[in-house]
Amino acid sequence: MGSITDKFKVSKGKGFSLKDHDPAYADGFKKEDADEILKDLIAETADLQTELYAANRYSLLIIFQAMDAAGKDSAIAHTMSGLNPQGCQVYSFKQPSTEDYAHDFLWRHYKALPESGRIGIHNRSHYENVLVTKVHPDFLLNEHLPNVNSLKDIDEEFWNRRYESIRSFEKHLTENGTVIIKFFLNVSKAEQKERFLKRIDDAKKNWKFSASDIEERKRWGDYMKAYQQAIEETATKECPWYVIPADKKWFTRIAISTIILETLRELKLKYPVLPKEEKDRLDEAKKELEKE
């Protein structure tokens, strides 16, 4: 059968095809069991989060990429709900600012990385620079890059260099203790339509919808090609992608929580063992307190 982690992991790009991944897959799980399963997963993850913080040797960077209405926000809210907020930091990346454009495309992402012992969640990420910009290459002109003076300068070699920059960036991070989990929430076009309609029909959800969402939906095929190539080019053994079925939100949350938990387990975290001198000081402190 294989674990959820193995089923959705893409650790090498060669041979990967997004069409092989069913957005409605649920691995035999039932919706009525989801809340209890998720509760247990989060409880164990919370314990390992404490060990991650105490060990202070690794950090965990969790990346969420998806089309609009795939459920990134709710997935983050549900899977992180039981963790200690002091050990987590969430960044939602929007359109780059003037300051961002004054630096290289990785700059704003690098400065948002989690410290050792902490979990960082990036809602959208440096991958926007090979996704949105691939569909809308005119955005790249805002970067004022050398040798990119017009759209005709953005050729295959340009994209190859950008993919290489991302691979090198992630390799550097992993070699220095940042464990990276990259999630692509794979929602179907039909399910996105249903979720858009719900946002329009429900006054409480109107704020989630923008007219630009429809324009981006018209470029669905272009985005799927961009995701296909981004995963092909950047899936590695050290920094794999996880293509998560996103049509059933309850299963999406189970899959994400399971992968985060299993990743933390693989680190074989342990609480620090104090040197004998420190242990002796603790014993003395205990005696002093007991005398009070």
Q: pLDDT tens across 111-160, in order?
A: 999 999 999 999 999 999 999 999 999 999 999 999 999 999 999 999 99
Q: Which two tokens stand for residue 267?
A: 């680190």
The residues spanned by each domain of the chain are 4-291
Radius of gyration over every alpha carbon of the chain, rounded to an integer in angstroms: 21
Structure confidence at residue 129 (pLDDT)? 98
- What's the whole-model pTM score? 0.94
pLDDT tens digits, one per residue of 201-228: 999 889 888 888 999 999 999 999 999 9
Select the more confidently predicted residue: 44 or 273: 44
Residues 6+ apart with CB under 8 A from 137: 151, 154
The phi, psi pair for 134, rounded to 5°, reads -70, -35
Residue type, 11: S
Select the more confidently predicted residue: 288 or 98: 98
pLDDT higher than 70, residue 78: yes
pLDDT higher than 70, residue 170: yes
Neighbours of 59 (CB within 10 A): 21
Structure confidence at residue 2 (pLDDT)? 67
Superfamily designation of domain 4-291: P-loop containing nucleotide triphosphate hydrolases (3.40.50.300)
pLDDT higher than 90, residue 69: yes
High-pLDDT (> 70) share of the chain, %? 99
pLDDT higher than 90, residue 288: no
Exposure on the CB side of residue 288, measured as CA atoms within 13 A: 6
The residue assigned the tokens 């990036």 is 122
pLDDT higher than 60, residue 1: no
The rounded mean pLDDT for the chain is: 95
Task: Cite the DSSP H helix spans in 29-155.
Answer: 34-55, 72-79, 98-101, 107-110, 132-135
- Residue 235 per-residue DSSP state: -
CB 247 within 8 A of CB 75: no
